[in-house]
Amino acid sequence: MTADIFSEKHQILFYETDRTRQVTPGMLVNILMLASQDQSDALGITSQKIHAQDLGWVVTQHLLTIERLPRLKEQVVIKTQATAYNHYFCYRDFWLEDLAGHTLAKMHSIFILMDQQKRKITKVPDELVAPYGSDYTAKVERIAEPEKFDAAKTAQSKDYRVRFMDIDANQHVNNVHYFDWIVDSLPEDFLITHQLKQMNIRYKREVHYGELVTSKVDEPITAADSGMLITHHQVSVGQQESCRAQCLWDKIV
Amino acid sequence: MTADIFSEKHQILFYETDRTRQVTPGMLVNILMLASQDQSDALGITSQKIHAQDLGWVVTQHLLTIERLPRLKEQVVIKTQATAYNHYFCYRDFWLEDLAGHTLAKMHSIFILMDQQKRKITKVPDELVAPYGSDYTAKVERIAEPEKFDAAKTAQSKDYRVRFMDIDANQHVNNVHYFDWIVDSLPEDFLITHQLKQMNIRYKREVHYGELVTSKVDEPITAADSGMLITHHQVSVGQQESCRAQCLWDKIV
């Protein structure tokens, strides 16, 4: 069996872009996730129904690859496919294309189902994934993890207090808000002259309302194979690591 | 002459809502402003063209009134009309309606044209407003200003560092981001139990990348006429007031 591909169109709104008139990385992930939300709604497995069972879908890892960030007012096509699942993990692919069918971005994501009361991972019931046509797989998929952040190599560190509007229906910081903390840890002159090409982001621990988050990044190093710049990131609350990420950046010419 | 009303449809996306599954006040303003951006584009006076002349439209005041915040996936109609202008000020109205034509929100806004080099207000050339069908008025409109914030009555104070993604094409913090600072200054239990009904927000001074912003609010007081709660707000950088706001809140029953 092959899982169904769900597809929808979207036009880039001005508040999805920054001063470069391109979509921000966080908004890119929001836009991709639109398709999975709408697929779930179309199948009648809305997030409201999931939450009514005291459950919630939680992202544990995204591997995002960007060919080109969509521009203000551009028409894009979002596609998604819930490819496979096992007892605890659900694997999903996303694509963003322009109207000519060129790929702008891809994302591979891992979701778990969280028990909202116990705040713990719970087994995925077949009836919650069967409608997507996902294949059951006994194997747990291994995606490369972002390299461990070496605190001794911290080049920049910024603090953020979690706001009311950072919290989603799972009562924790939405996975997309980490993208802003990670991108903003880099200096303005770097962000204006470089384009994010890839982010591997692994979520380790929930972050809650009011907590003080620290976002650290090391000095960019040049990748031997591609010549692109690599940055390593850590988001933490006190001594506890909440999230780790590794990014690839290309110079804007 | 009466200015043209420009209208468009929009469906509420999940990332425009918070954990209450309603649009956040900041996103509500973004959604309203979609119509003015699209009207300008339709008339061929894009913000790119304005910026190419080293100019930029800047909001100096919004008076936002909310009947009901739109909900996740709700279809809404946005309407706008550039009602009037004089040498320095442009007045614009916005409405948000549901598909049955009921008003969900209204906003009256004042815009000025800023010289991007001098960072100063500049005269509005007729050719930039004539296409909207705006009426010239010699009078400068007087909208009530939010009451002065009394620092001695500060009940809550929170600091925010301006991020890369807060900055818009005018090279300063976009007017909408102030809504998040203002709303988030109030405690979580207040925000969960109250609904914003009105905000009068007056922008006084630009805020730039990297600056540390302080958002202060006083203790809510009960309005004699409506029984709603009034809060006063100030956003400042150091000793300089950047923005002042006055809000009306209704208890959620």
pLDDT, one tens digit per residue, over A4-22 is 999 999 999 999 999 999 9
pLDDT, one tens digit per residue, over B213-226 is 999 999 999 999 99
Residues of A in contact with B206 (CB under 8 A): none
pLDDT, one tens digit per residue, over A32-88 is 999 999 999 999 999 889 999 999 999 999 999 999 999 999 999 999 999 999 999
Please report the pLDDT score of residue B140 as a whole number: 86
Please report the pLDDT score of residue A1 as a whole number: 63
Q: Which of A30, A167, A183 is facing B164, going by the closest CB pair?
A: A183
The answer, for B34 touching chain A at a CB cutoff of 8 Å, is yes
Please report the pLDDT score of residue B159 as a whole number: 96
The verdict on a CB contact (< 8 Å) between A19 and B159 is: no
The answer, for A184 touching chain B at a CB cutoff of 8 Å, is yes
Q: Which of B14, B37, B165 is facing A14, going by the closest CB pair?
A: B37
Identify the structural domains of chain B with CATH numbers, from first to last: 5-136 (3.10.129.10), 151-251 (3.10.129.10)
Give the three-class secondary structure for A135: strand
Q: Which of A19, A164, A210 is facing B168, going by the closest CB pair?
A: A19
Q: Which two tokens stand for residue A175?
A: 């996975």
Sequence-ordered list of residues with C-beta below 8 angstroms from that of A91, at least 6 positions apart, any chain: A82, A83, A84, A85, A108, A109, A110, A111, A141
Residues of A in contact with B75 (CB under 8 A): none
Residues of A in contact with B160 (CB under 8 A): 161
**φ, ψ of residue A36 in degrees (nearest 5):** -70, -35
Residues of B in contact with A171 (CB under 8 A): 19
Counted across chains A and B, CB pairs separated by less than 8 A come out at 78
Mutate to test the interface with B, among A163, A180, A181, A193 (most CBs of B within 10 A): A163
Residues of A in contact with B36 (CB under 8 A): none
Indicate the pLDDT class of residue A151, thresholds 50, 70 and 90.
very high
The neighbour count for residue A223, using CB atoms within 10 Å, is: 12
CA distance A169 to A175: 12
Indicate the pLDDT class of residue A141, thresholds 50, 70 and 90.
confident
Please report the pLDDT score of residue A10 as a whole number: 98
CA distance A82 to A131: 10
Tell me, what DSSP letter sits at residue B77? E
Largest alpha-carbon pair distance within chain B?
Answer: 51
The answer, for A19 touching chain B at a CB cutoff of 8 Å, is yes
Closest Cα of chain B to A35: distance in Å?
A: 11
Residue A182 reports pLDDT greater than 70:
yes
The answer, for A14 touching chain B at a CB cutoff of 8 Å, is yes
Give the three-class secondary structure for A159: strand
Name residue A11's beta-bridge partners.
Answer: A75
Closest Cα of chain A to B26: distance in Å?
A: 10
ipTM above 0.90, yes or no: yes
Taking Cα atoms as reference points, which of A157, A133, A141 lies closest to residue A212? A157
Residues of chain B short of pLDDT 50, as ranges, are none
Q: Which of A161, A184, A188 is facing B158, going by the closest CB pair?
A: A161
Residues of B in contact with A26 (CB under 8 A): 165
The verdict on a CB contact (< 8 Å) between A159 and B161 is: yes
Please report the pLDDT score of residue A26 as a whole number: 97
The answer, for A26 touching chain B at a CB cutoff of 8 Å, is yes
Question: How close are the terminal C-alpha atoms of chain A, in Å?
Answer: 44
Give the DSSP per-residue string, B187-242: -HHHHHHEEEEEEEEEE-S---TTPEEEEEEE--EE-TTT--EEEEEEEEETTEEE
Long-range contacts of B224-233 (CB under 8 A, 24+ apart): B228/B197, B229/B194, B231/B186, B232/B146, B232/B147, B232/B149, B232/B150, B232/B153, B233/B146, B233/B149, B233/B182, B233/B185
Mean pLDDT calculated for residue range A107-117: 97
Give the three-class secondary structure for A206: coil
